[in-house]
Structures are given as structure tokens and as C-alpha cells.
Structure 1
Amino acid sequence: MPAKLSVNLNAIAMLRNRRDLPWPDVRHFGRLALLAGAHGLTVHPRPDQRHIRFSDLPVLRALIDDEFPGAEFNMEGYPGEDFLALCEAIEPDQVTLVPDDPAQATSDHGWDFAAHGDLLRGVVQRLKRKGLRVSLFADGDGEAGAIEKAKATGADRIELYTGPYGGCYDAPEKAEVQLDLLGRTADAAHALGMGVNGGHDLTVTNLPALARRIPYLAEVSIGHGLTADALEFGMAETVRRFRHACGEPV
């Protein structure tokens, strides 16, 4: 089954926030993405609200509940108390936990599962008591031992940090090396019964190879590259292009 596409709306929200105006409308673009066949929406509400605002969360949750009940809402963030309280209030279908410092521009590494195992176990248990699926951001470095520690937290999935792979857009040989590491990490998680998601710097060019190497890839969350393409092709056509790149008949 092809990986499901979740459209990350952060870049659209960041563009909106350049002015004290309500456009581009995050809800509107989320709706366009879902109408074009996206399987879900992703947001990363950071403490400074520099892109997604806390006020966007109930609006997007209602959009899915009222108009697209088969779609999923994925909230990602560092598991501080404020973020966890938001998750408990909004009840997304999936929570993706990332080890970001609040000041970071974007996610750029996975969890150190050995160092943060106790923290993550407690957070995972708390979220699962609310019936939420939990995914952990993981480096795609081929280390099976790290994934065993991720499994021990009780999380349902990992999300492969695909940034190093995406960064090889002009170096095919290096991309092959990164793809192999991602595949080995995914295989370790799959063998342990964990689901595998992916995200960061994925494009219509590099997605097909990733999907072939990891045929059980459950979901990809894509924002920057998808938003850049939407400036050229429009949101609906861009979603169709990314779905096709995932291997989905369009």
C-alpha cells in the first residue's frame, strides 16, 4: 500500500504571519489539500507561534471532523507541558514527538533514545491514555540498537528524519548512501512491529526511491517542498503530484 501523504501547513502559516491579515488562509489550503486526496494534515505549533498558531488547531481539527472524517490530523512538537496540554485538548489522530529546542528554525535531528528513554516512556504513556497514536522522530542512521530503545518507550511508530537524504539533491551517489541508511533503520523498526513514517526535505524527485526502498512506509509528512511546488502548480495539482510520487494511482 502506498505511503499516505500528510500535508504540513507550517510554511503557509508562516507566510500568513508576515502580515496582520488572515491570508493565506491555513484552513482554506488545508481544505484544498484534502479535496485533492491528501490523507491528512500536519502542524508543528511552536511556543512562539511563528507559523501555526494555537488558534489554528481547533479550526483544523473541526475541518477534518466535519468535512473529511477519514483524514488524519498530526501534531508534532517537543513534549513540554504546554504542547502536551494542547494535544490532550485537540486530540489529534497522531502525535509526533521531536527533540527540538524551541529556538530551532526547523527539526534537524532525531531523538537520542538512550538519553531520553525515561522522558519518552512517560510522555508516550500519557498520550496513549488519551487514545492517541504516538510517533518518535528518529535519525535514519541504520542503527538498529537505537530503534530497539525507541520501541521500549511504547511508541507506535518512528518518523525517519529524511533531511540528510533530501540534502543530497545534487549528489546522487551520496543520496544512495543515505537511502541505504534510511532503509536499514526502517527495516529495524518494521521487524520490531513499529510503523514507519518519514519527513523532511522530501520532494516529488526523491520520494519514489524512498517508497521503493521502504514499501511498508506508512506516511510521509511534507511541507517545505510541497509548498514550494504549490507556488508553481497550485495546491491541488501539487498534492496529486506528491501522491503519485508516493506510488498512489492518481
Structure 2
Amino acid sequence: MKTRLSVNLNAVAYLRNRRAVPWPNLLEVARAVLDAGAHGITVHPRPDQRHIRFSDVRDLSALIASDYPHAEFNVEGYPTREFIELALSVKAHQVTLVPDSPDQPTSDHGWDFDEHGAMLATVVRDLQHHGLRVALFVDPMADAPMSAWQTGAERIELYTGPYGGASDPRSADRALSDLVATAEAARMTGHNQAGDRPALQMNAGHDLTADNLPPLRHAIPDLAEVSIGHGLTADALLIGFPAAVRRCLAALEG
């Protein structure tokens, strides 16, 4: 199975927003990464619009629809009514729901399904009714996939922060083992259950780099998609966005 690469442009927008100038140009960077072979674009608009602005979401959606019809547009965020309306208005291909509070600097944990499962099931049905695929951000815990599957979502996004941010090989190995166990649980969803819904597909994201992608891809070969922003942008500062994208693609294929 080929794992697709979606490039998160939040870091680029954050750099742009430091000044009252229109550069770096988000649409030009999107063109550069898609022309280099990335399979899609990810954005995470937050209520304060401190990086991706709502207008950016609309502009990127229009760019993909007109010039890159085979690319995927993934919009992620907390399911406020404003966020849901934005995702529906731009006809995102995938909506990734994350449990962020407005003041969080980045996503750093998955959903608590005991607390939010009923709400998520309602939101998932609403988005799917309009033809959008839904992924839920989950911690690397073996019981999370079944809880996500029970909401009706088609995918989960494995939170890879503990793996990507590990400070030593032992910590990375432990974190990878947790991800592998969660992936195995995701494969089992849909088995021995009433109905004919398929098992969850799996995305992954957070602190992924060209260096730590190969072990993850080897351990979970059926990953559908990885979303990479910060690490790829850090590489791009040294080698440029096209080269950084090609480096990640090579890591996924290695």
C-alpha cells in the first residue's frame, strides 16, 4: 500500500503572519510542494487565525480544485460550528477532528471518547452527510480505534508526537510499539461487529521527519497518509520545499 504525503502549511502561514506583508506566499508554497509530488495539503485553522486564516482555507481549496484536481485537501480542527461551516463551504476532501483548546500551540493529545464520543458521532454523521471523509485524532492506545470506529468515522490519525519527539532510541522504540499496537487494534475494527462497515484506515501525524518516517512506515505498512508540516518546513529552510518534499517521499518509499 502506498502511503500518501500531505504537507501541512501552518508553519508557513505562521511565518507570514509575523509581518503585515503577503510573503511567504502560501499559494506559491502550495504549488511548489504539489508540483514536487506531494499528494495533498493539510491546514489547521484555529479560532484566533494565528497561522492559517479562514481566507487561506478558501484560497487553497480554490487552487486545488482548479489546478490540482487529483490532490487532497485535508482541513483539521476542533469541531466548532464555525469550523464545520468552513470545512463544508470549501468542500474539503477530508476533515480531521482534533480535541484542541483555542490556546494550544499545537495538537498534543487525542480524543477522550468517554467524554466526547456522543458529540463526535453527531458531527461525523453531519460531515459524512455532505460527502466528507472524517478522521479522528487518537492517542497511541489500543482501545482508541474501536471507540473511534463506533462514532462512524472512516479513519483515525495516529498521534505520533511521543515517537517523533523521542529523545533517545529506547523511548522511540517504546513509542513505536504503542503505535503498532494501536494500528493492530484499528485493523480489527469492523471484525465481528454488526453491519458491514469496513475497518478503520489509518493516517499519522506530528513531529514526523524524513529520518523517522522509514521505521514508522516499515512498522505500519498500511498507513494511508502522513501529514507533515514542522519537520518538512525545517528541512525546506535549508534545501527548499521541492527538495524537502522529495526527501519525505523517498523516506516513505524506502
- The TM-score, its normalising length taken from structure 2, stands at 0.95
Q: Which runs of 5+ in 2 are unaligned?
A: 190-198
Deviation for aligned residue 1:2: 2.6
Deviation for aligned residue 1:174: 1.0
Deviation for aligned residue 1:44: 0.2
Q: 1:166 aligns with which of 154, 164, 174?
A: 164
SS at match of 2:187: helix
> 1:238 corresponds to which residue?
244
> 1:49 corresponds to which residue?
49
> 2:185 corresponds to which residue?
188
Aligned-pair identity (%): 57
Partners in 2 of 1:185 and 1:61 — Cα distance?
Answer: 32
> 1:148 corresponds to which residue?
146
Deviation for aligned residue 1:118: 0.3
> 2:155 corresponds to which residue?
157
Aligned residues: 245
Deviation for aligned residue 1:84: 0.5
> 1:224 corresponds to which residue?
230
Partners in 1 of 2:144 and 2:154 — Cα distance?
Answer: 15
> 2:34 corresponds to which residue?
34
- Shifted more, 35-44 versus 187-196: the winner is 187-196
Deviation for aligned residue 1:191: 2.1
Partners in 1 of 2:10 and 2:123 — Cα distance?
Answer: 24
Q: Which runs of 5+ in 1 are unaligned?
A: none
Write the letter of the residue equivalent to 2:144. A
**Residue 177, structure 1, aligned to residue 174, structure 2:** yes
Deviation for aligned residue 1:146: 2.5
> 2:193 corresponds to which residue?
none
Partners in 2 of 1:85 and 1:7 — Cα distance?
Answer: 23
- Shifted more, 185-194 versus 195-204: the winner is 185-194
Partners in 2 of 1:124 and 1:222 — Cα distance?
Answer: 24
Partners in 1 of 2:8 and 2:232 — Cα distance?
Answer: 8
- The TM-score, its normalising length taken from structure 1, stands at 0.96
CA contact (8 A) 1:114 1:146 kept: no
Deviation for aligned residue 1:113: 1.3
> 1:215 corresponds to which residue?
221
CA contact (8 A) 1:2 1:211 kept: no
